[in-house]
Amino acid sequence: MFESLSDRLSGVFERLTKQGALSADDVKTALREVRVALLEADVSLPVARDFVKRVQDKATGQAVTKSVTPGQQVVKIVHDELVAVLTGDEDPGKLKIDNPPAPILMVGLQGGGKTTSTAKLAKRLKERDGKRVLMASLDVYRPAAMQQLEVLGAQIGVDTLPIVAGQKPVDIAKRAKQQATLGGYDVYMLDTAGRLHIDEVLMSEVEQVSAAVNPRETLLVVDGLTGQVAVEVAQEFDDKIGISGVVLTRMDGDGRGGAALSMRAVTGKPIRFVGVGEKMDALETFEPERIAGRILGMGDIVALVEKAQETLEAEQAERMMRRFQKGQFNMNDLKGQLEQMQKMGGMESVMGMMPGMGKMAKQVQEAGFDDKVITRQIALIQSMTKRERANPQLLQASRKKRIAKGAGQEVSDLNKLLKMQRQMADMMKKMGKMGKGGMLKQAMK
Residue positions forming the annotated binding site for GTP: 108-115, 191-195, 249-252
Is residue 138 within 8 A of residue 209, CB to CB? The reply is: yes
Q: How far is CA 284 from the centre of its chain?
A: 19
Closer to ligand GDP by Cβ: residue 169 or 392: 169
Q: How many CB atoms lie within 10 A of CB 269?
A: 22
| Rounded CA separation 80/87 (Å) | 10
Residue from the set 4, 29, 60, 110 that interacts with ligand GDP by CB under 6 A: 110
Residue 188 bridge partners (DSSP): 103, 134
Distance between CA atoms of residues 297 and 6, nearest Å:
6
Shortest Å, Cβ 250 to ligand GDP: 4
SS3 sequence, 231-271? HHHHHHHHHHCCCCEEEEECCCCCCCCHHHHHHHHHHCCCE
Q: How far is the CB of 300 from ligand GDP (least distance, A)?
A: 24
The CA distance from 290 to 263, in Å, is 17
Give the Cα separation of 295 and 34 in Å (integer): 12
Quote the CA–CA distance of 8 and 108 in Å, as a whole number: 31
Rounded CA-CA distance 116/124 in Å is: 12
User: Helices 3-17 and 288-296: crossing angle, nearest 10°?
Assistant: 60
Among 275, 293, 297, 392, binds ligand GDP (CB under 6 A): 275
| Options 93, 100, 277, 336; binder of ligand GDP; rule CB under 6 A | 277
CB of 218 to ligand GDP, least distance (A): 15
In the complex, least distance from residue 284 CB atom to ligand GDP, rounded to whole angstroms: 10
From 49-57, 104-112, 306-314, 408-416, give the range in contact with ligand GDP by CB under 6 A: 104-112
Minimum gap (Å) between residue 219 Cβ and ligand GDP? 12
> Which runs of consecutive H residues, i.e. helices, occur in 326-396?
331-344, 347-353, 358-366, 374-382, 386-390
Residue 113 main-chain phi, psi, to 5 deg:
110, 20
Does residue 389 bind ligand GDP (CB under 6 A)?
A: no
Quick check: 208 binds ligand GDP (CB under 6 A)?
A: no
* Shortest Å distance, C-beta 238 to ligand GDP: 18
For 275, counting Cβ atoms within 10 Å of its Cβ (0-12 exposed, 13-18 middle, 19+ buried), the class is buried
The size of the interface with ligand GDP (CB under 6 A), counted in residues, is: 18
Q: Does 169 bind ligand GDP (CB under 6 A)?
A: no
H or E, element range at 357: none
Order of strands across the sheet with 217-223? 159-160, 133-137, 187-191, 102-107, 217-223, 245-249, 271-275, 283-285
Contact between 71 and ligand GDP (CB under 6 A)? no
The reply on whether position 111 binds ligand GDP by CB under 6 A is: yes
Instruction: Tell the smallest beta-carbon distance from residue 67 to ligand GDP (Å).
Output: 44
Question: 245 to 274, contacts with ligand GDP by CB under 6 A?
Answer: 249-250, 252-253
Per-residue binder mask for ligand GDP (CB under 6 A), 184-203, x = binder: ----------x---------
Query: Is residue 115 a contact point for ligand GDP (CB under 6 A)?
Result: yes
Instruction: Provide CB contacts within 8 A for 408, sequence distance 6+.
Output: 379
- Only one of the segments 31-39, 122-130, 277-285, 340-348 lies at the binding site for ligand GDP (rule: CB under 6 A); that segment is 277-285
- The answer to whether 114 contacts ligand GDP (rule: CB under 6 A) is yes
Cβ closer to ligand GDP: 108 or 215? 108
| 3-state DSSP of 58-100 | HHHHHCCCCCCCHHHHHHHHHHHHHHHHHCCCCCCCCCCCCCC
Interacting residue with ligand GDP among 92, 101, 103, 113 (CB under 6 A):
113
Is 93 or 253 the residue whose CB approaches ligand GDP more closely?
Answer: 253
Q: Is 375 helix (H, G, I), strand (E, B) or coil?
A: helix
Name which of 70 and 245 has its Cβ closer to ligand GDP: 245
Of 161 and 341, which CB lies nearer to ligand GDP in the complex structure? 161
Q: Please state the residue numbers annotated as binding site.
A: 108-115, 191-195, 249-252
Shortest separation between residue 19's beta carbon and ligand GDP, angstroms: 41
Choice from 38, 95, 276, 298 touching ligand GDP (CB under 6 A): 276
- Residue closest to ligand GDP (Cβ): 275
The single residue among 91, 278, 315, 318 that binds ligand GDP, judged by CB under 6 A, is 278
Shortest distance (Å) from residue 121 CB to ligand GDP: 11
Q: Going by DSSP bridges, is the β-strand pair 245-249/217-223 parallel, antiparallel, or unpaired?
A: parallel
Whole-number Cα distances in Å, 316 to 309, 322, 327, 330, 442: 11, 10, 17, 16, 14
Q: Which residues bind ligand GDP (CB under 6 A)?
A: 108, 110-116, 194, 249-250, 252-253, 275-278, 282
